[in-house]
Structure 1
Amino acid sequence: MTNFIRLLKLCRPHYKAMLLGTFLATLTVLANVGLLAISGWFLASMAAAGIAGVQMNYFTPAGTIRFLAIVRTASRYGERLVTHNATFLLLSEIRVNMFATLSKLNNVDLAMSRSADLVNRLQNDVDALDKFYLNILLPMLVALLSIPIIMVFMAAYNANVALICFTGILLIGVVLPALLSAKLNKNSHKETQLSAQLRAELSDTLTGLRELSIYQAGGDQISKCDDLNEQYNQQLYSRHKALANSDGLSLLVVQLAMLGAIVTIVPLVYSGAMVNVELAMLSLFVLASFESVLLLPNAFIELPNVLKAAERLFTLQDKVSAQSNNHSALIDTQFDKNNTALTLNNISYKYDEHNALTDVSFMLKAQQKVAIVGRSGSGKTTLVNLLTGLWPLQQGSITLGDQNNSQELHSLSNDTRASFINILAQQHHIFDGTLSENLRYAAPSATKEEMLEAIKLAQLEPWFNDLQKGLKTRLGIGGRSVSQGQSRRIAIAQALLQNPAILVLDEPTEGLDNQSKQTVMNAIMQVMGNASVLTITHDPALLTQMNNVIWLEDGKVVAQGSHKELSSAYPDYVALTTRF
């Protein structure tokens, strides 16, 4: 019920459109009920008048029927227009709310969440919530408004018929939906869970297609996807079967209620207590009255899925709220960028039972250049993720600061940490915008002159001079109009604009040809002159520029010293760094 109320609060900005849609939908139902009832009376009266050979005024009922038909058509059109517009407005509200929630999640929550799960929340869960107003809330409101009006008019003719009709409405609108909701409530979570697993496995299959082909494991992976797909389809089948059964039971209740009304009225007509033409009118009145609740079973079938989707999205929202409440505990402080040091003390990290890092300690002094060297799986990437705050710290401490002031890294706000530490990863994302827009992600207040200077220092000037639109050149989705080396140098230009105290480089020359590698190296040298540098690399050209090299193996520091010292003392180190 809490999630239902929170969904109602999301509807608040658009409540006028939703109330108008509810009014028009109710008017459509009432007009249809009145049209069918009056049509039944009119046809029966005309037949009775013809048999009796008497005249009757058919202009008034014919005009009423035409008026109700026009009202029904106009209100139906207006209801479709207004309710669907309200649905789109609510969907945009939910999507904006969801994206705002994700944008406020801290680095740890984003890094430790599986991307497929977040995508599933964005797509499946948000799409599920667009049914809330149109398929759930609207039928409930229409039933609450129209049923009392219908019952009052029906009871004015015959209370027993009204009671029979009301009993049928309760069965279709309350009892049957409650049974369906209880039955499907357990399956709704499993359906969403299987959908998320299936999306994740399909994503893994596509991204790992090359490796699956190499190791001839594609068949097993496809079989796994088939099994998940079969389970998911079984859940869908159960829900659709329940919906089909509810439609069948609803139709049976409607027919039985109409039959009960006829059985009740026939003796009254026979005894003369009721005019014979009212038999047709009340029978059709009962039949048409069920339009007010026929959508409720489907609404209650959809309700568990919508509430589960809302629960997952609100869980993220609550996490953000908790982080906001704890934001006062985070420190917004300023350090002297020229004297900022980074200290790691007894850092250990585990993946399940695997020790990725064990008692790693070292200091990155102000203006110092430190490299981390090690084979694949030695803990280099884990260490960088911990340093940048992307992963939670399990054991040990990381402090950032100068001689007069130092703070633990995890106690600093995201803004403070980001202003002092810049990450230059192997894969740098280029947004679908202009060159100036991409550069200003790092420094929103950067001037044109500052951007041009950064482009020059990042060795981008020859490429930039060939651009007809200069800084207004669009780089395309994912930077498809720039090469890998140019993308890396754009990242360096961003780092120059940000002027970080600490620059973290993750294999900055990996995957580049010799010419691009040399250009990127020259650009990195420009950044390194004013910042402390921590780089993961095996490139001897970069290692010779380092003040200190830390050699990691199996998550432990084997040795540290200058590149020259390690090369002369350890043959294994030479083999590791001369693979180029």
Structure 2
Amino acid sequence: MTNFLRLLHLCRPYYKAMLLGVFLTGLTVLANVGLLAISGWFLASMAAAGIAGVQMNYFTPAGIIRFLAIVRSASRYGERLVTHNATFLLLSEIRVNVFATLGKLNNQDLAMNRSADLFNRMQDDVDALDKFYLNVLLPMLVALVCVPIVITIIAGFNAQVAFICLGGIVLVGVCLPIRLSRKLGCSAGQQTQRSAELREALSEMLSGQRELALYQATNSQLAKCNAIQKDYNDLLDQRHKALADSDGLSLIVVQLAMLASVALLVPLVSSGQLPNVHLAMLSLFVLASFETVLTLPNAFIQLPVALSAAGRIFALHDKLAKSAGFDASETPQDLGSASPASLPQDITSDLGMGLGLQNVSYRYANAALDDLALNNVNITINAQQKVALVGPSGSGKSTLVNLLSGLWPEQQGRILFNAEYEVLAKAISFEKRTQLMGILAQQHHIFDGTIADNLHYAAPEASREQMQTACEQAQLGEWLYELPNGLNTRLGSAGRRMSQGQSRRLAIAQMLLRNPAILVLDEPTEGLDNQSKQAVMQAIMLAMSRSTVLCITHDPDLLQNMDKVIWLENGKVRGEGTHQALQAIHGEYLELTTRF
């Protein structure tokens, strides 16, 4: 019910168009019911007049029938136009809402979801809500409006027939949909889940074709996809069978209601208590009145699917609301020495910012209790200090960086940003943290656009002169001057028109434009030839001049330029000091940094 109300809240901006659609649909249904009932009366009256050899005015009923036919056609056209437009408006609102939510989610929330699952929420779940108004909400509202009108009119002729008709309508429009909703309520969630699992499995298979081929695991992955597909098809078959059963049961109830009405009316006509022409009219009236609720079983079949999809989408909204600020349970003392008047959002530092890790531990999901990626780590980095992280694979370097950037949630210990006062990292909004911290990842994505476009992602307000200067500082000046279009040169998909070294230097130019207080570098010279390496190192040293730096590297040339090296091993700090001092004291450290 909560998801249903939240979906109604999304409909609020377009409620006028939706109410107009309800009015036109109701008008179409009532015109159709009236057309069938009056046609029955007219034909019966003409037959009775012919048998009796009397004259009757057929112009008025014929005019009413023609009028209702015109109204039905016009309202049906208007209903199609308005309801589909309202559906597209609602769909656009939902899509924009989902994309806006994804855009505001922090890296931690995004990292906890597979990309295929997020794509499934953006596409399949949103598509499932495509029919919420048209196939779920509209039939319900039309039934609420039209059923009382139809029953009231029938009761004006005969209350017993109205009671029979109301009983049939309740069976078709209430009892049967409730039964279907209960039957398909669980399978709707399973259907959405299987759809997401199938998309994830297919995505993994496509992205990992090379590895699957190398390990001869293609057939097993195909078997996994086929099994999920079979489960998904079984759920679809179950849903379609339920819909077919409901259609058959509805038809039986409609026919029985009409037969019961005829059986009730025949004695009244025979005794003269009811005009004979009313027999045909009321029988057809009862038959046509079920049009007000015939779409409700399908609506209740669609409803669990829509609510399940809405629940997955609203889960993203709930994450956004949860991550919008720091935990309300934290007291002012939990924020270090920050005063209430100095909120974490006001943190600024033009000359670097220190970092502090106090008793930080982290364990991956499903790992053993004693298998910690980080184990009681304590690190202090002063403002504008250049610190390197060194350690073998699996020592916790990437885990530590992911915690600092907010990509992964903190579990134990405290991470502090040191400016004029110490503030818990988790008390700072994601937007503020991205302003304070710049990360130069080992794998940097270049978007399909111009050089200026890619630089604007880092600094939207940067002028062309500032971009030109940043490129020169990043050792891209000579290459840029040789390009006919300069900053307007398109780089192609994933930057295919650039070499790896040029791509890395463009990323450095982005960092120079941002000028973050804290700069995190992840193996910045990995995979580069000597010439590119020297150019990138010069650009990095310039980028590091005013920032606090945390650099993951084993490059001796970079390590020699660091103020301090932190040596991690098995999630613990094995040693700390200058590169030269650690080499002199620890033979294992010397071996670690000279074999790369």
| The two structures share one fold, judged by TM-score above 0.5 | yes
Could you say which residue in structure 2 is the equivalent of 1:556?
572
Kindly state the Cα deviation for residue 451 of structure 1 after the two structures are TM-superposed. 1.4
Query: Structure 1 residues 573 and 313, CA, compared in 2 at 3 Å: closer, same or farther?
Result: same
CA distance in 1 between counterparts of 2:6 and 2:426 reads 32
Please tell me whether residue 21 in structure 1 is matched to residue 34 in structure 2. Answer: no
Q: Secondary structure at the match of 1:332?
A: helix
- After TM superposition, give the deviation of residue 178 of structure 1 in Å: 1.0
Aligned counterparts of 1:484 and 1:34: Cα–Cα separation in 2: 74
User: Is 1:430–2:443 an aligned residue pair?
Assistant: no
CA distance in structure 2 between the partners assigned to 1:8 and 1:477 by the alignment: 41
The structural deviation recorded for 1:88 is 1.1
Structure 1 55/476 Cα, relative in aligned 2: closer, same or farther at 3 Å? farther
* 2:481 pairs with 1:465: yes
Overall identity of the aligned pairs, in %: 64
Q: 1:222 to 1:573 in 2, by over 3 A?
A: farther
Moved more, 376-385 or 58-67: 58-67
Report the equivalent of 1:297: 297
SS at match of 1:427: coil
1:366 aligned onto 2:383 = yes
Distance 1:482-1:82 versus aligned 2 partners, 3 A rule: farther
Cross-structure match for 1:171: 171
Q: Is the 8 A contact 2:40 2:281 kept in 1?
A: yes
- Pairing partner for 1:412 from 423, 428, 438: 428
| 1:240 to 1:518, Cα distance in 2 relative to 1, 3 A | farther
CA drift at 1:250: 0.5
Mapped to 1, the partners of 2:479 and 2:532 lie a distance apart of 12
Give the drift of 1:508.
1.8
Q: Deviations 1:382-419 (Å, cap 9, x if unpaired)? A: 111112222222233332224x5332322333343323
Which residue matches 2:228?
228
Consecutive unaligned residues in structure 2, runs of 5 or more: 331-342
2:561 aligned to which of 528, 532, 545: 545
State the match for 1:343 in structure 2.
356
**For each residue in 1:47-102, what CA deviation from the matched residue of structure 2 results, as whole angstroms up to 9, or x when unmatched?**
44444554443332222222211111111111011011111111122222223333
**What's the counterpart of residue 494 of structure 1?**
510
C-alpha distance in structure 1 between counterparts of 2:529 and 2:172, whole Å = 71
Contact 1:372–1:550 under 8 Å retained in 2: yes
Q: Does 1:45 align with 2:40?
A: no
Q: For the residues of structure 1 that align with 2:469 and 2:218, how far apart are their CA atoms? A: 50
SS at match of 1:342: strand
CA contact (8 A) 2:151 2:162 kept: yes
TM-score by length of 2: 0.90
Asked if residue 237 in structure 1 is aligned to residue 237 in structure 2, the reply is: yes
Letter in 1 for 2:388: A
- Specify whether residues 291 and 331 from structure 1 end up closer, same or farther in structure 2 by C-alpha distance, changes over 3 A only: same
Contact 1:348 1:394 in 2 (8 A): yes
- Whole-angstrom distance in 1 between the partners of 2:325 and 2:591: 52
Residue deviations 1:295-327 (CA, integer Å, cap 9, x gap): 101111111222233233333323433444648
Residue 407 of structure 2 aligns to which amino acid in structure 1? L
| Distance in 1 of aligned mates of 2:8 and 2:349 | 49
Alpha-carbon distance in 2 for matches of 1:493, 1:387: 22
Q: Which amino acid aligns with 1:16?
A: K
CA contact (8 A) 2:324 2:429 kept: no
More displaced, 286-295 or 32-41? 32-41
Q: Tell me how far apart the structure 1 counterparts of residues 82 and 493 of structure 2 sit (CA, whole Å).
A: 36
Distance (whole Å) between structure 2 residues aligned to residue 504 and residue 6 of structure 1: 41
Farther off after superposition, 269-278 or 48-57: 48-57
Letter of the aligned partner of 1:201 in structure 2? A
How many angstroms apart in 2 are the aligned matches of 1:65 and 1:104?
A: 57
Q: Does the 8 Å CA contact 2:352/2:547 hold for their aligned counterparts? A: no
Which 5+ residue runs of structure 1 have no aligned equivalent?
none
Paired residue for 1:452?
468
Indicate the SS of the match to 1:338.
Answer: coil
Q: Is the 8 A contact 1:269 1:279 kept in 2?
A: yes
Q: Which amino acid aligns with 2:309?
A: A
1:521 aligns with 2:534: no
**Partner residue, 1:355:** 372
Compute the displacement of 1:40 (Å).
2.0
Kindly provide the CA deviation profile for residues 235-273 of structure 1, in whole angstroms up to 9, marking residues without a partner as x.
222222111111110011111111112212222233333
State how far apart, in whole Å, the 2-side matches of 1:293 and 1:364 are.
69
CA, structure 1 residues 366+110, in 2 after alignment: closer, same or farther (shift >3 Å)?
Answer: same
Contact residue 109 and residue 319 of structure 2 kept, 8 A: no
After alignment, is 318-327 or 285-294 more displaced? 318-327
User: How big is the shift at 1:476?
Assistant: 4.9
Q: CA RMSD in A?
A: 2.5
1:324 and 1:359 map into 2 onto residues whose CA distance is: 28
The answer to whether the Cα contact below 8 Å between 1:335 and 1:405 also exists between their aligned partners in 2 is no
Q: How many residues align?
A: 579
1:335/1:401 contact within 8 Å kept? no
Asked if the contact 2:325–2:427 (Cα under 8 Å) also holds between the matched residues in 1, the reply is: no
Separation of aligned partners in 1, 2:48 and 2:479? 92
Please list, as runs of the form range in 1=range in 2, the aligned pairs for 1:111-510 lying within 5 A after superposition: 111-324=111-324, 326=326, 331-338=344-351, 340-351=353-364, 352-353=367-368, 354-402=371-419, 404-476=420-492, 478-510=494-526
After TM superposition, the structure 1 = structure 2 runs for residues 34-73 of structure 1, keeping only pairs within 5 Å, are 34-73=34-73
Q: 1:357·1:379 contact (CA, 8 Å) conserved in 2?
A: yes
DSSP 3-state at the match of 1:275: coil
Distance 1:576 1:229 in 2: 48
> 1:467, CA displacement in angstroms?
4.0
For residues 267 and 360 of structure 1, do their structure 2 counterparts lie closer, same or farther at Cα, with a shift above 3 Å needed?
Answer: same
